[in-house]
Amino acid sequence: MGEATGMSALTTIIRARAVTHPHRIAIESGTQGTLDWAAFSEAIDAANAMFGRHFSGTSPVAIQLDHGPAACVADLALLRCGIPALPIPSFFSAEQRHHALRASGACALVGSRSGQADDFSFTLLDSPSVPLHAGTAKISFTSGSTGTPKGICLSAAHMMAVAQSVIDFVGNAHAGRHLALLPPGILLENVAGFYATMIAGGTYVALPQADVGLGNPFQPDFAMMARVIAAQRITSLILVPEYLAGLVAVLAQTGARLPDLTLVAVGGARVPPALIDAAMTFGLPVRQGYGMTECASVVTLERPTEIRRGSVGVSIGSNHLRLAPDGEILIDGPACLGRIGEAVPDGPLHTGDIGRFDEAGRLWIEGRKSTLIITSHGRNISPEWVESLLLGDPAVAQAMVHGDGEARLGALIVPRTPDADIDAAVASANARLPDYARIAHWRRVAPFTPMNGQLTGNGRIRRAVIATAHLQGRPFMPFYDRLITETADVAAGLAAVPQLQAGLSGRISRDTYIAYLGQAYHHVRHTVPLMQEARSRLSQKPMLVTALDEYIAEETGHEQWILSDIAAAGGDTAAVAASAPNAATRAMVDHAYRVIRTGNPVAFFGMVHVLEGTSVALASHGAAAVQAALGLPPEAFTYLTSHGALDQDHVRFFADLMNRIDDPADQAAIVAMARDIYRLFAALFASIPMETLDAAA
């Protein structure tokens, strides 16, 4: 198949470097391999030929791959073939993923077992054909303000022009070693990170997310992230504010510095000025930017010589910006081909953002037009303004301000630590606000994450979803949210256990994996008996009995899955079945029986909370990482993968169930049990003999 329009320039660059600098590194990905320019060019040619044999026509091919050589090669090979590519963001829910595949008419899903450049697998799909805009090279699904993502069609020429504009604006001096940190499938990293690095001749460091501290969705390891940035001599990054805040916290706590960095571009959501100041204090060369998926990502960026921090800079040259009479930012110039199923847009792009220009022509984002709060006193308030002051306090991790139609403002606040002084943080913000914009009341809530649908992949809070979860006439924090908040410290202790961290990143040996399965067998074989024990003591609570009946039906036989996995991994199932559990495993099971039999049996649901939440993390991140590292067959991971898929539905079911429990004694028993099980489960993992791959080698 012929090369897609807009790809010829990048193709020419890659082929030319394969001749002039064949042994310079183009793609670096740790254990997944390194590609010099010659090998990278050859891999793209081979994948191009393979895709051309398997796929034809205009139906898109979906890609769901972690960062690595396979993802880089597949991206450029599909573009070269002229086959529309559909990246599936790693944080999409099963429903969002299904919607994206069906809405775009995707004919296949590309995966990879190892992540290496020549390792691809295909899953054919039966999605009905969907007409796309002519020239569509990539479909980017943006979650927007509702749960249903919207497919935006982009041309190859448009994306390459933006990537070139990024290089023209920042200069080739930054084209050293760029590290991909944003989740796979995010357009900003794809265009401004990957494509721009390729055009400029730098090295794209595409490490799996687990290898940069992002393997655990419940607790990013920013200390690990900082170590990787330093060890890899990274020169440029693209971050969302949450990642910047995490790195700043590590630098403040450890005294470490990252002197190789020459550019840290931050976008996706408003960045508190105090965070920018702190980042600059620790030597991070932060430059804030602004972009839209419809404009193929980056639209503006700060110049390196800016003195006044807080603006999002000026146009990088691809587009012209102006303001509507009501302050909405309008963008003229190259834009997307249109959304799937909608007409090609005409006229300027209406961003929905409210902004202003200063005397130097720099753009300042004031807030969202759709989020403007109008109080009952008729005052217009941008919630982002108030939130930025709250987020500038180290006690506050996330915040959403609300109060449309009310006399005073309120705030939903996610504390950075369980003992954070939120009262002081609110008082500090209020001291810098006029009376009409001050926070009159606030309450703690559970973290906003892509997994619960309350945060986009770019770091924007999804206000409508959060409001539905927290502001639908509930005067207090829902119990499920309080359960998460009141166990956050012990959950962090579990997440920090070396054995669990190594498993999530795929760095354990086969013997350690089998040892883990052995202990899993010894506690999972008690799951159904524990449920039956609890059920027998809860006859007066029919709602919980019904829930336990559903759990029992789902969980029956899971210990046999584990034995089958042990056999497929090369272990001795008879020996495991006949063995005694570790003391820590026995202690956890014995504690559960004791609480159910002698205490409040409702407490058992605290154990459910811990085990199911942990299994989602292990299934979503650990199973694939361990399988890729050890080369074991899929049959060795049926417990993790199948159990995790079930538990994602269980978590939603469990949250609804917990929010219907209103007895304070029952709530206290569940929290206490969850805290106990977090500690005991951490001890269980710590008791597993651990041999890392490095040690095994």
- The DSSP annotation for 441-492 comes to EEEE-PPP-TTTTSB-TTS-B-HHHHHHHH-SS-SS--HHHHHHHHTHHHHH
The C-alpha atoms of residue 256 and residue 282 are separated, in whole angstroms, by 9
The larger pLDDT score, comparing residue 626 to residue 300, is at 300
- pLDDT category at 466 given cuts 50, 70, 90 is confident
Residue 326's pLDDT is 86
Containing 113, the helix (H) or strand (E) segment is none
Q: What is the pTM of this model?
A: 0.65
Residue range 514-536: mean pLDDT, rounded: 95
Print the SS3 string covering 222-287: HHHHHHHHHHCCCCEEEECHHHHHHHHHHHHHHCCCCCCCCEEEECCCCCCHHHHHHHHHCCCCEE
Lowest model confidence (mean pLDDT) among 22-26, 325-329, 364-368, 644-648? 644-648
The candidate with the shortest Cα–Cα distance to 93, out of 450, 446, 340, 449, is 450
- Name, of 138-142, 270-274, 376-380, 424-428, the range with top average pLDDT: 424-428
Residue 475 reports pLDDT greater than 50: no
Residue range 479-498: mean pLDDT, rounded: 80
Residue 366's pLDDT is 80
- pLDDT category at 647 given cuts 50, 70, 90 is very low
Residue range 156-178: mean pLDDT, rounded: 92
Q: Determine the straight-line distance between the first and last CA of the chain, rounded to whole angstroms.
A: 43
- CA–CA distances in Å: residue 60 to residues 97, 132, 184, 684: 14, 9, 18, 45
- pLDDT category at 652 given cuts 50, 70, 90 is low
Residue 105's pLDDT is 95
The C-alpha atoms of residue 213 and residue 181 are separated, in whole angstroms, by 9
Lowest model confidence (mean pLDDT) among 159-168, 262-271, 390-399, 488-497? 488-497
Average pLDDT, the chain: 87
Neighbour tally for 567: CB within 10 Å: 15
Residue 212 reports pLDDT greater than 90: yes
Residue range 676-683: mean pLDDT, rounded: 94
What's the full length of the chain, in residues? 697
Sign of the CA dihedral with 21 first, then 26, 31, and 33 last: negative
Residue 407 reports pLDDT greater than 80: no
Residue 276's pLDDT is 87
Residue 271's pLDDT is 79
Percent of the chain with pLDDT over 70: 90
693 in Cβ contact with 629 (< 8 Å)? yes
Residue 653's pLDDT is 78
The C-alpha atoms of residue 507 and residue 286 are separated, in whole angstroms, by 33
Residue 103's pLDDT is 94
Residue 145's pLDDT is 36
Residue range 149-154: mean pLDDT, rounded: 87
Read off the amino acid at residue 170. V
The candidate with the shortest Cα–Cα distance to 350, out of 431, 417, 292, 277, is 292
Residue 423's pLDDT is 93
Containing 615, the helix (H) or strand (E) segment is helix 604-617
SS3 category, 309: strand
Residue range 119-146: mean pLDDT, rounded: 84
- pLDDT category at 697 given cuts 50, 70, 90 is very low
569, two tokens:
């991994």
Task: Report residue 161: phi and psi, to 5°.
Answer: -65, -40
| DSSP code at position 348 | S
Residue 236 reports pLDDT greater than 60: yes
Longest dimension (CA), the chain: 78
The C-alpha atoms of residue 283 and residue 609 are separated, in whole angstroms, by 41
Residue 645's pLDDT is 44
351 in Cβ contact with 292 (< 8 Å)? yes
Q: What angle is formed at CA 276 by the lines to CA 274 and CA 278, rounded to 5 degrees?
A: 70
Residue 570 reports pLDDT greater than 70: yes
For the segment 243-259, what is each residue's pLDDT rounded down to a tens digit?
A: 898 899 899 889 999 99
Residue 451's pLDDT is 61
Residue 203 reports pLDDT greater than 70: yes
Instruction: Quickly list DSSP for 129-176.
Output: P----TT--EEEEE-TTSSS-EEEEE-HHHHHHHHHHHHHHH-GGG-S
Residue range 535-556: mean pLDDT, rounded: 92
Residue 648 reports pLDDT greater than 70: no
Residue 465's pLDDT is 79
How far does Cα 114 stand from its chain's mean position? 21
- CA–CA distances in Å: residue 576 to residues 380, 518, 573, 641: 66, 6, 5, 21
Residue 307 reports pLDDT greater than 70: no
Residue 15 reports pLDDT greater than 80: yes
Q: Which residue bears the tokens 């950075």? A: 416
Residue range 109-114: mean pLDDT, rounded: 89
568 in Cβ contact with 632 (< 8 Å)? yes
297 in Cβ contact with 282 (< 8 Å)? no
